[in-house]
Amino acid sequence: MAHDDTAFRLLAELTGLSGVSGQEEPLRTALRDHLASRVDRVRTDALGNLLGIKHGQPAGPRLLLAAHMDEIGLVVTQIEGGFLRFARVGGADLRVLPAQEVTVHTAQGDLPGVVASRPPHVLGPEERRRPFRQAQLFIDLGLEEAQVRERVQVGDFVSLRQETVRLGQAFATGKAVDNRASLVVLLRTLDHLQTMAHAWEVVALATVQEEITLGGAYTGTYSVRPHVGIALDVTFARQPGVADEEGVAWDRGPAIALGPNIHPRVRERLVETAQRHEIPYVEEVLPGHSGTDAWAIQVTRSGVPTGLLSLPIRNMHTPGETVCLRDMERTARLLAHFIAELEPDWTP
Ligand SMILES: [Zn+2]
């Protein structure tokens, strides 16, 4: 299907680029081009947030659509022999790091590496039963110590390396699907808006540092001064080991969040829009801090009425994050209709 192909192509391209929290530049450079062809103006702020502004009616209110650019990764903390010690940036799952291929981003360019660990044969029976601790893992570059010291510096960022592939007809798996899938939704929403009139100005904000501090969403929202904000992120899809109450169904459309982090009228309007256009959706109750950019948006300045749309994914914070391409297209369609139908005088 044509739409799925577009979504998959964009997802494969964006997940193939690195953007570890604090070093989002490789992704930002490519995303800037994609955004520039879909909006009236693009700018980057001091922290590295990317903002794309698409005009509505003159003096119309402003809607913020935010999706984070950054991904979980690693950072070099020490060079030991020819090997690299590292710390995690964001919540990478230690249990699946051994044997993971990585890219070390040095001042002189990228180096491929692999997360090495002691083979099972040399582990005692107790050790074999437990997952590796951080101190037992290191990155192997296949270089002599002198070569490593010449090229790698403490503080260099490291991203996971994983090709994004299709699963079945409508699914895709890879690294950094959290949150590149939402960036694709952002781009696809803007595609729909090329042929739809809208009174509200739309500011597409690709945020930095969500995985560590939500820093980009705080500063970005502060400068945009939106009348309404919507964050786009991922949530837990049900899978073996993730019970019904811990996750939401996938391939049933986006999860529309409700709870104290969400403005009830924004949520209600998203639900009404989905129903009017027969776009499937599920509901997700978040009893507190959503752990997403929606939190930062809601409490910036004197507060912003905020909504949250999440794509259900499996295997979160592993290199095998899996998403439904149909859910991505449904979310983009929902957002485009939501935006096009906002009256100039609507307030939540
Ligand atoms: Zn995320």
- Would you kindly state where each structural domain of the chain is located, as residue ranges? 2-71+175-340, 73-160
Instruction: List the catalytic residues.
Output: 210
**pTM score, whole prediction:** 0.96
Superfamily of the domain at 73-160: Peptidase M42, domain 2 (2.40.30.40)
What is the rounded distance in angstroms from the CA atom of residue 191 to the CA atom of residue 317?
A: 29
The reported pLDDT for the residue numbered 119 is 80
CA 239 to chain centroid, in Å, comes to 20
CATH top class, domain 2-71+175-340: alpha beta
What is the rounded distance in angstroms from the CA atom of residue 272 to the CA atom of residue 249?
A: 20
The predicted-structure confidence for 148-204, as pLDDT tens digits, reads as follows 999 999 999 999 999 999 999 899 999 999 999 999 999 999 999 999 999 999 999
Cα three-residue angle 150-154-156, rounded to 5 degrees: 90
Could you tell me the distance, in angstroms and rounded to a whole number, from the CA of residue 34 to the centre of ligand 1? 20
Could you tell me the distance, in angstroms and rounded to a whole number, from the CA of residue 260 to the centre of ligand 1? 19
Could you tell me the distance, in angstroms and rounded to a whole number, from the CA of residue 12 to the centre of ligand 1? 17
The reported pLDDT for the residue numbered 2 is 45
The reported pLDDT for the residue numbered 1 is 45
Nearest C-alpha neighbor of 84 from the set 142, 138, 18, 147: 138
What is the rounded distance in angstroms from the CA atom of residue 184 to the CA atom of residue 14?
A: 8
Could you tell me the distance, in angstroms and rounded to a whole number, from the CA of residue 261 to the centre of ligand 1? 16
Cis peptide before 179 (omega within 30 of 0): yes
Long-range CB contacts for residues 144-151, cutoff 8 Å, separation at least 24: 144/82, 145/79, 145/81, 145/82, 147/82, 148/79, 148/82, 148/83, 148/84, 149/79, 151/106, 151/108, 151/111
What is the rounded distance in angstroms from the CA atom of residue 309 to the CA atom of residue 331?
A: 8
The reported pLDDT for the residue numbered 135 is 84
Torsion of CA 335, 339, 343, 348, to 10 degrees: 50
Q: Helical H runs in 283-324?
A: 293-298
Helices (H) and strands (E) in the chain, counts: 9, 17
| Residue 60, CA distances (Å) to 201, 342, 346 in order | 6, 10, 10
Q: Which residues of the chain have pLDDT under 70?
A: 1-4
Could you tell me the distance, in angstroms and rounded to a whole number, from the CA of residue 233 to the centre of ligand 1? 5
Looking at the DSSP bridge assignments, the partners of residue 284 are 257
Could you tell me the distance, in angstroms and rounded to a whole number, from the CA of residue 253 to the centre of ligand 1? 17
What is the rounded distance in angstroms from the CA atom of residue 93 to the CA atom of residue 199?
A: 43
Helix, strand, coil in percent for the chain, rounding step 5: 30, 30, 40
Identity of the residue numbered 120:
P
Could you tell me the distance, in angstroms and rounded to a whole number, from the CA of residue 71 to the centre of ligand 1? 8
The reported pLDDT for the residue numbered 4 is 65
